[in-house]
Amino acid sequence: MTFATRRLRKIVGALPPGITLVRAEDFKEWQLDIRVLDDNPIYKGKTYRLSFKFNINYPIDAPIVTFVEAPGITIPMHPHIYSNGIICLDLLSSGNGWSPVQSVESVCMSIQSMLTGNTRNERPEGDADFVRSGNTNPRNIRFVYDDPTV
Amino acid sequence: MWWSVWDRLNILIFARLWCRCFQASDFIGAERFYTRAIIHDATNPAYFTNRALSRLKLSLWEAVIDDCQHALDLLPTSLKAYTYLGQAQLALDRPNEALSSSQQAYKLAIAVRSPSAATIAGTVLQAKKRKWEVSEDRRIMEEGGLLGKLVKMLTEEGEKEVSAVETQWSLGKEEGRVHKEHRHEEGGEWNKNREGDTQALEAAVWEEIEARKHSTRERINLLKDVFARADPAKYKPRIVPDHLIDNITFCIMHDPVITKHGQSYERATILEHLRRSKTDPLTREPLTEEDLRPNLALRVACEEFMRENGWAVDY
């Protein structure tokens, strides 16, 4: 049993409010649904789906976390979330952002609060170009974190 | 001059071929190449450790031990030799030897900052767990009683199953040999195929035996668990206290180090993290290898817990 599977096996238990496990058949990809718990009008009453992809070095390596579409589920509007589901969040970047003591729950909660605190119903600048470039692996992207308020 | 050029050429060819074999998972081929390399030059410890690795992949445990001992005669500080030696000894169910070899490997790995330290730490823990299992079994047997008798029965039944498979296999082999002699005239190609068949069959038999052994172990563990639960005086829920667990891998620690912020981690894990990011995982403040100190008291606590609770390795 690798460290990755050991880590993941242990969290299948109580999840924080607003977070539900949708798919965790193996230890390669998990899907979780998240809801925003307050009355933020942008996200009220909606559920979004996150995909976590783990490699064998998880949790030393960061998981790849993106929003995915599903019947009745869209990609949330947010100035740091591209319309193809890629999330621009420093704690998910493999450099100094990720920390191996983070877990699936803590990442979900960070993303939850990233949505809760947002007031702008818009996509990041250059969203259309970015999506057209066809880059779907967040690892290959170098984000510039220039907005300390998020 | 002539010879040294010839040598170098040979080594290059060997290295190239060997790589190709390993990539294709052709461990039999790799093993043969290294046998040839050793015939060519029996003073190079790397040839022995590389052959040991191929043999490890082929589950030829005794041969692995042989190669590692040769390598250690040539190079007493060979990290690879101690690593493979420990793994082979564990596979042969010699937990005491496996523990001392893998502890030696671990020391060397830490000294040279090898990334394989985490894997070796895993072997150390597995050896400790196996030692605990052996002493638990002895205790149960000595206490006698129903559980001891049942475990003995299950063990014997398992052994019988394995030897039945083995007998069947050796009968089949006899028959195969007779066939082969009969058909000898029909040409070499057929014989070659036959050899391939034999290899595949041998692998299947090996797998069958391993499966039987595994199910015997499972049955015995289940039985022990049932008995433990039925005896509330002795039964304790199997929980490893949080302070003995590495916060990154969630495994019980075997060589804990403490950061300047007071949090302890398994040494191999935190070093792996520091290779990627020189920050404290909890506080994200700068953290370097020099800031880590061994946490001796915690180390003793982990060791003591492991002595009584070998199951903690798979917790």
For residues B18 and B33, is the Cβ–Cβ distance under 8 A?
yes
Q: Which residues contact B255 (CB under 8 A, 6 or more apart)?
A: B106, B110, B121, B266, B267, B268, B294, B299
pLDDT of residue B301: 94
pLDDT of residue B7: 60
Contact A96 B277 (CB under 8 A): yes
Spatial separation of the C-alpha atoms in residues B83 and B98, rounded to whole Å: 9
pLDDT of residue B50: 92
Give me the DSSP letters along chain B.
-HHHHHHHHHHHHHHHHHHHHHHTT-HHHHHHHHHHHHHH-TT-HHHHHHHHHHHHHTT-HHHHHHHHHHHHHH-TT-HHHHHHHHHHHHHTT-HHHHHHHHHHHHHHHHHTT-TTHHHHHHHHHHHHHHHHHHHHHHHHHHH-HHHHHHHHHHHHHHHHHHHHHHHHHHHHHHHHHHHHHHTGGG-HHHHHHHHHHHHHHHHHHHHHHHHHHHHHHHHHHHHHHHHHHH-TTT-------GGGB-TTT-SBPSSEEE-TTS-EEEHHHHHHHHHH--B-TTT--B--GGG-EE-HHHHHHHHHHHHH-GGGGG-
pLDDT averaged over every residue in chain B = 83
Residue A150 clears pLDDT 50, i.e. is over it = no
Using a pLDDT cut of 70, give the percent of chain B over it: 81
Count of CB atoms situated within 10 Å of the CB of B116 = 16
| Confidence tier at B5 by pLDDT (50, 70, 90) | low
Contact A60 B282 (CB under 8 A): no
pLDDT averaged over every residue in chain A = 82
Contact A60 B284 (CB under 8 A): no
Query: Which residues of B are less than 8 Å from A100 in CB distance?
Result: 248, 269, 273, 281
* Same fold for the pair B2-136 and B242-314: no
Residue B205 clears pLDDT 70, i.e. is over it = yes
Give the least confident one: B22-36, B136-150, B166-180, B286-300. B166-180
Give the least confident one: B81-95, B222-236, B257-271, B274-288. B222-236
Q: What is residue A114's three-state secondary structure?
A: helix
pLDDT of residue B1: 45
Q: What is the CA radius of gyration of chain A?
A: 15
The enclosing H or E element of A4 equals: helix A3-11
pLDDT of residue A67: 94
Spatial separation of the C-alpha atoms in residues B288 and B249, rounded to whole Å: 19
Query: Which residues of A are less than 8 Å from B249 in CB distance?
Result: 3, 6-7, 59
Q: What is the pLDDT of residues B91-134, one digit of tens each?
A: 999 999 999 999 999 999 999 988 889 889 989 999 998 988 88
Known active-site residue A108:
no
DSSP state of A147: -
Contact B276 A94 (CB under 8 A): yes
- Give yes or no for B272 touching A (CB within 8 A): yes
Contact A101 B247 (CB under 8 A): yes
Contact A98 B277 (CB under 8 A): yes
Spatial separation of the C-alpha atoms in residues B54 and B142, rounded to whole Å: 41
Give the least confident one: A44-58, B24-38, B190-204. B190-204
Spatial separation of the C-alpha atoms in residues A81 and A93, rounded to whole Å: 14
Give the tokens for residue B131: 């030692």
pLDDT of residue B124: 92
Architecture of the domain spanning B2-136:
Alpha Horseshoe (1.25)
Please tell me the CATH superfamily of domain B242-314, with its number.
Zinc/RING finger domain, C3HC4 (zinc finger) (3.30.40.10)
Contacts within 8 Å (CB) and 24+ apart, A17-21: A18/A112, A19/A105, A19/A108, A19/A109, A19/A112
Average the pLDDT over B160-187 and give the result.
68
* Positive or negative torsion for Cα B237, A12, B306, B270: negative
- Give yes or no for B273 touching A (CB within 8 A): yes
Considering only residues 81 to 140 of chain B, which have any Cβ-Cβ distance to chain A shorter than 8 Å?
118
pLDDT of residue B135: 83
Determine the residue of chain B that is closest to A1 in CA distance. Answer: B314
In 3D space, the residue among B275, B151, B164 whose CA is nearest the CA of residue B212 turns out to be B164
Average the pLDDT over A48-66 and give the result.
90
pLDDT of residue B291: 92
Average the pLDDT over A122-141 and give the result.
77
Average the pLDDT over B53-76 and give the result.
93
Average the pLDDT over A42-46 and give the result.
89
| Confidence tier at B15 by pLDDT (50, 70, 90) | low
Residue B46 clears pLDDT 70, i.e. is over it = yes
Question: Which stretch, B5-9, B162-166, B167-171, B184-188, has highest mean pLDDT?
Answer: B162-166
pLDDT of residue B115: 86
DSSP state of A140: G
**Of B280 and B309, more confident:** B280
Name the residue among B247, B248, B282 with its Cβ closest to that of A60: B248
Alpha carbon distances (Å) from B51 to B46, B145, B201? 8, 47, 24
**Of B101 and A144, more confident:** B101
Spatial separation of the C-alpha atoms in residues B295 and B54, rounded to whole Å: 37
Q: Where are the domains of chain B?
A: 2-136, 152-230, 242-314
Contacts within 8 Å (CB) and 24+ apart, A93-97: A93/A62, A93/A138, A93/A143, A94/A61, A94/A62, A94/A139, A94/B276, A95/B277, A96/B277, A96/B279, A96/B284, A97/A62
Residue B144 clears pLDDT 90, i.e. is over it = no
Q: Which domains does chain A have, with CATH numbers?
A: 3-126 (3.10.110.10)
The enclosing H or E element of A105 equals: helix A104-116
Residue B270 clears pLDDT 70, i.e. is over it = yes
Alpha carbon distances (Å) from B129 to B96, B307, B315? 11, 8, 11
Chain A nearest-CA distance from B247, in A, is 6
Q: What is the ipTM of this complex?
A: 0.72
Chain B nearest-CA distance from A102, in A, is 8
pLDDT of residue B149: 85
Amino acid at B300: V
Out of A4, A34, A88, A107, pick the active-site residue.
Answer: A88
Contact B249 A7 (CB under 8 A): yes
